[in-house]
Structure 1
């Protein structure tokens, strides 16, 4: 495919040295090749191309091979798995961490560990599909509260207790919602769960590395969070996932979770890369807060340009467009301006709320915001 004229003009403004400087901030997923600035992926800390991660993965590749070759309880365990679990547990202040090949798999395991057919699950209306599948697999009853509305949550818990006084209750939410950019007030939410005797599962997939004290998530230090789930495919720049909990729940997962016991272990090179990412986060505890501050500057400027303020305060900025085709047209226009974004449409979001999901990354060039604002103000955008 030939490069459109508008795209060629954009490329000529970048010298070869500048292109090399931006290599960790670009996307390779567009029809136009690797020159589009990435405003779509979840690589929040720009680590997926970091030399330390690549070197760690390569060393482990040569040491252990590409894959683990078996489940953790048969032949798949490697020292790097144990080291990553131990370091993560220490960083998060949890007794036990178990690794999983994917976040979807980890969430299935988490829900099934905390719920069964005698449980009522009370979940935020916008939780990830993997968590909903986990609820279905557990056989639990599902009730859903209004997104991040703690009054709605408390009303539902009171109702559930009146209907089934002795039932197990599990509340499920996320610390950073991937299509909304919003976060709950975790401390208050945990207090409500404690008051009603409910367990709390917190999906930290999009928050870890960015939100909370030194990027350790919004559940850090909150002992009333029963279990945390997290992934390495976002801020960690690698792949795979984990669950973090107390020792008793960790042993239960080890002994009973089919999602852990009966799957090939996380590929050792991915585990090594995640371990390298964790070390970088520890050595740069301000990365997340700096990114949050930058994202709020973007929100302010978008409001000044006439757009509704993107919800939340983290690096995910949903730019509400409304109509599906208009959103697709805007995505295409931004691509022609050198910016790779994602148009999010139903059924991922409700009808009439199509949006551009803008994502900030640590190494985005300073001039990216001005490029975005110019493209959004272009007369050709309809």
Structure 2
């Protein structure tokens, strides 16, 4: 196997959050501590609502550590279940209008579990061409027949569903999409997709990881506005807008019981750390208390899109806080990343295989609380790098 080119080689960088939550400080193994590194404004992380360092989340996690210790010490079905797990599952189910929620230690595990619960080797699976790697890994593990449809293209999806009906009569297809694509910033017409799935008797799995806290009524995601049975299962994470860690699956009561009884990713793993569950519960409480946060974030995101378009960049698609600036070559994207860092801004160059060949990009993330003048600094830095 050939080694990656230097422009595609990944490097692990370590960061220390600034205590005031405004940015990140790079930490290098060679640092002697003589000179404090420059703090970079964080335009890279998925902490969309600036909750990771919110005092209420820190207090909730600290109190739960005092009650329960650092880790759960066992799986949920052995000795690892704590009251905070039950509380979080119950309140999430109410918030999302779902019968059942089950917690998982990571989003990758949750997506694996979701696909394995809905597909086997006989299942035709149709996944958006830009679906997350965890979902595709789940399809591979299930042994299902995978087809990819063009990104957010309902005409292509309909054509492939019709073909499934002809080629695999009697087999219920599974359609997989995301409600906010992490590298594109775009969203499908989920209502129309759900109607299409219903007309073909297909199940629909929606990954809401990047949408929760951001899109939909009060940040409930795009699935919330649809009829109760329109989405078979949705997955979500606490490591993004919730500012914590871990993940969950939400579904109806029967599927929830199936997950409890058969999901290896749930049964055979140590339960989500109670402190992370407590922090996620505190984040949920804040989102319910401040339903305007998501609206304000979306308004700011549109302002940034308009400003970038006015500066000559292709207007990033979508409505959420993920704004990709497609550069092209790997090295050119890395060069622009360095230019932004010199200006005090952190935006990571995303390169293949995470994105298609020839579409290396800067992934800009608008967050709820950014220092005054951040957009002006960004536009000036981008003008210098063109």
TM-score, length basis structure 1: 0.92
- The correspondence for 1:324, drawn from 303, 325, 330, is 330
Shift of 1:214: 0.7
Shift of 1:118: 1.3
Which runs of 4 or more aligned residues in structure 1 lie more than 4 Å from their structure 2 counterparts after TM superposition?
A: 29-34
Question: Mean Cα displacement is larger for which, 200-209 or 319-328?
Answer: 319-328
1:95 lines up with 2:88 in the alignment: no
Partner of 1:158: 162
CA–CA distance in structure 1, aligned partners of residues 22 and 186 of structure 2: 24
- The correspondence for 1:175, drawn from 179, 198, 204, is 179
Partner of 1:221: 225
CA–CA distance in structure 1, aligned partners of residues 104 and 294 of structure 2: 24
Whether contact under 8 Å (1:122, 1:144) holds in the other structure is yes
Q: 1:33-72 to 2 correspondence within 5 Å? A: 33=37, 35-72=39-76
Shift of 1:51: 0.1
CA–CA distance in structure 2, aligned partners of residues 30 and 175 of structure 1: 34
- Give the gaps of 5 or more residues in structure 1: 1-18
Whether contact under 8 Å (1:93, 1:221) holds in the other structure is no
- The correspondence for 1:116, drawn from 114, 120, 138, is 120
Shift of 1:366: 3.0
Change (3 A) 1:241 1:359: same
Shift of 1:34: 6.6
Shift of 1:26: 1.0
Change (3 A) 1:232 1:177: same
Task: Tell me the matched-pair count.
Answer: 361
Shift of 1:236: 0.1
CA–CA distance in structure 1, aligned partners of residues 253 and 37 of structure 2: 47
Cα distance per residue 1:171-230 (max 9 Å; x no partner): 000000000000001100000000000000000000000000110000003221000100
CA–CA distance in structure 1, aligned partners of residues 206 and 260 of structure 2: 20
1:282 lines up with 2:288 in the alignment: yes
1:143 lines up with 2:147 in the alignment: yes
TM-score, length basis structure 2: 0.92
Partner of 2:5: none
Cα distance per residue 1:351-378 (max 9 Å; x no partner): 1111000001101123100010111112
CA–CA distance in structure 1, aligned partners of residues 179 and 24 of structure 2: 26
1:312 lines up with 2:318 in the alignment: yes
Cα distance per residue 1:139-176 (max 9 Å; x no partner): 11001100000000000000010001111210000000
Change (3 A) 1:201 1:168: same
Q: 1:259-278 to 2 correspondence within 5 Å? A: 259-278=265-284
Whether contact under 8 Å (1:38, 1:341) holds in the other structure is yes
Cα distance per residue 1:85-138 (max 9 Å; x no partner): 000000000000000000000000000000011100011000000000000111
CA–CA distance in structure 2, aligned partners of residues 174 and 34 of structure 1: 36
Aligned-pair Cα RMSD in Å: 1.4
- The correspondence for 1:293, drawn from 299, 304, 314, is 299
- Give the gaps of 5 or more residues in structure 2: 1-16, 29-35
CA–CA distance in structure 2, aligned partners of residues 376 and 341 of structure 1: 12
Partner of 1:340: 346
- The correspondence for 2:89, drawn from 85, 102, 108, is 85
Change (3 A) 1:28 1:105: farther
Cα distance per residue 1:21-56 (max 9 Å; x no partner): x82231245668471100000000000000000000
